[in-house]
Amino acid sequence: MEFYQRSLDAFIEAYGRFDITIDHGKGVYLYDINDKKYLDFYSGIGVNALGHDHPEYTEALCKQIHRVLHVSNYFNTVEAIKAAELVNKATGLSKTFFTNSGTEAVEGALKLARKYYYLKTNRDDSQIISLRHSFHGRSTGAVTLTGNPSYHKGFGPLISGVVYGDINDLKSVTTLVNERTSAIIVEPVQGEGGIHVCTPEFLQGLRAICDENDICLIFDEVQCGMGRTGTMMTYQRYGVYPDIVTLAKGLGAGVPIGAFVANDKVAQAMKPGDHGSTYGGNPFATSACISVVDIFEKERILENVNARSKYLFEKLEGLKAKYPCIKELRGLGLMVGIELTSEAKPVMKGLLEQGVIVVTAGLNTIRLLPPLVITDENIDEFIAVFDKVLSQV
């Protein structure tokens, strides 16, 4: 309680924090200052893809601290170049711009799409199509793209020229397209909106619309990218490639780093002076990115995601058959939504009391974003506690 009160005194109260103060982590577990152990099935909003204190990752960061932390983007560094090459290869796109967060990546993608439109039309009146129930970040531009009015209230006026269609409803998007449309932005799996998965037909339809009208297709893979859904990028399982993709979270596995990545056609629109980031792509953050990609390959992380995902969904289907309060299971890979027939917060709090960390997505959905290194034994542990909590709550 002492630390909880100190946090209230010290911070601007923008977060509804739990009365838990974390001390350290190891593997897929976190430990508070009282040494209580928590199974981490949230991984810092999908950030800690490799869990906590991964030995090779930690060693790489320690080495980089002794080399150089920051030099500014007026100079090249070996780390930034190598990281960009790895990200380009992982996304199947051509050019990377590193940021510090997913929100900044979305802002950069927004600027790039608008600049591409400006060079094409010589007009500053572009329109962006987003989707209802989407989430793209908390800055003014990113929050405007977020298709949920509750995130907008109290922060107006927001940026102009943003309209909203519906997920998996191609007609709702098509009717919004006009000569001012510069981009369509979509999460292939909506995270905050409740773990809703875009259908292949919907994404393919968006690609066709953008090709026909020379519009930038932006995929926001900040949460669902970097192996979370079983492929490096979610769009790769459908063979539908964007003009721009935004990344963060698992890209650094704990170190703040984001990126927006573009194909050659769109990337050429941005020129020196158009955009910048003081810390973006610094040697420390990009060394983390390099280590993450290396470990993904060495430890066959994607294979683990797909195997563990199958096992997790099988176990959850068993609980769904047992408990009528589980309405629907959704998701891909290790990005899972468990929709309940009632409010999800009591279940989340019950799990937390029993030493399991999850979070909600919307009012009725439990969201699971475990580290990508989990085992079947970790899943069994979660299922046992979830079963117990459901029987009580």
Mean pLDDT score, 301-306: 98
List pLDDT tens digits, range 39-56: 999 999 999 999 999 999
Give the domain-ending residue among 298, 331, 360: 298
CATH number at residue 337: 3.90.1150.10
List pLDDT tens digits, range 314-342: 999 999 999 999 999 999 999 999 999 99
Residues 287, 307 within the same domain: no
C-alpha to C-alpha distances, 137 to 38, 128, 187, 259, 277, nearest whole angstrom: 28, 15, 12, 14, 17
- Please check the confidence at residue 255 and state whether its pLDDT lies above 70: yes
List pLDDT tens digits, range 238-250: 999 999 999 999 9
Give the domain-ending residue among 271, 298, 325: 298
Q: Considering the chain, what percentage of its residues have pLDDT values greater than 70?
A: 100
Residue type, position 309, single letter: S
Number of domains in the chain: 2
Cβ–Cβ < 8 Å for 243, 91: no
Query: Residue 211's closest CA among 166, 241, 251, 256?
Result: 241
Q: Containing domain of residue 40, as a range?
A: 2-54+300-392
Mean pLDDT score, 297-301: 98
List pLDDT tens digits, range 104-114: 999 999 999 99
List pLDDT tens digits, range 354-389: 999 999 998 999 999 999 999 999 999 999 999 999
Give the domain-ending residue among 280, 298, 316: 298
C-alpha to C-alpha distances, 220 to 117, 122, 190, 208, 276, nearest whole angstrom: 19, 27, 9, 18, 20
List pLDDT tens digits, range 3-16: 888 888 899 988 88
Average pLDDT for the chain = 97
Residues 255, 357 within the same domain: no
Residues 135, 174 within the same domain: yes
pLDDT at 4: 86
φ and ψ of 174, to 5 deg: -55, -40
Residues 108, 255 within the same domain: yes
Residues 162, 274 within the same domain: yes
70-78: long-range contacts at Cβ-Cβ below 8 A with a sequence spacing of 24 or more?
70/279, 70/282, 70/283, 70/284, 71/282, 71/283, 72/278, 73/276, 73/277, 73/280, 73/281, 77/282, 77/283, 77/286
Residues 209, 272 within the same domain: yes
Confidence of residue 1 (pLDDT cuts 50, 70, 90): low
pLDDT at 393: 82
Residues 232, 357 within the same domain: no
Residues 95, 16 within the same domain: no
Residues 286, 224 within the same domain: yes
pLDDT at 2: 84
- Predicted TM-score (pTM) of this structure: 0.96
Residues 48, 167 within the same domain: no
Confidence of residue 180 (pLDDT cuts 50, 70, 90): very high
Confidence of residue 32 (pLDDT cuts 50, 70, 90): very high
- Please check the confidence at residue 123 and state whether its pLDDT lies above 90: yes
pLDDT at 363: 93
Residues 362, 310 within the same domain: yes
Residues 163, 21 within the same domain: no
Query: Residue 245's closest CA among 217, 211, 209?
Result: 217
**Helix or strand or coil: residue 91?**
helix
Torsion, CA 334, CA 335, CA 340, CA 345, rounded to 10: 100
Mean pLDDT score, 190-219: 97
CATH number at residue 156: 3.40.640.10
